[in-house]
Structure 1
C-alpha cells in the first residue's frame, strides 16, 4: 500500500494506548502514516504487560488514543 503523508517522532515519542483484543495497552507512538486510501495508521511500540516483550506494530487511527 502506498502512503501519502508521514509524520515521524524521532526524539519525543508520545505515550499512547492501543486497542488489542478488546484491551487498551500502553505504548510509544513512533509515527503516523496516511495511506493512499487516505486512512491514517500509527506505528506504535507497545507491550501487553510490564514483564512482556515489546512489539512494534501498525494500528488504524481508531485503535489509538492518548495515554
Structure 2
C-alpha cells in the first residue's frame, strides 16, 4: 500500500480562507464588585458561566 503524500505542516496554502471569527462587542453596562468578581472569575456578569455538571437539569426542557 503506497504511503499517502501529505502537505508538510510548514507549507503555506495560498488563497484559502481557513476561518472567520465572530466576536461581539462586550457590553459594559454592569460590573461585579471587586469581591464578586474574584468569586466569579470575571468582572463582567455577561461572561459568568459556571460549570454545572452533567446532572444539572436543563432550563429549556424536562431532560437532564
State the TM-score bracket (shorter-chain normalisation): under 0.3
- State the TM-score, normalized to the length of structure 2: 0.20
Higher relative contact order (CA 8 A, sep 6+): 1
Larger Rg: 2
Higher percent of residues as strand: 1
- State the TM-score, normalized to the length of structure 1: 0.19
Higher percent of residues as helix: 2
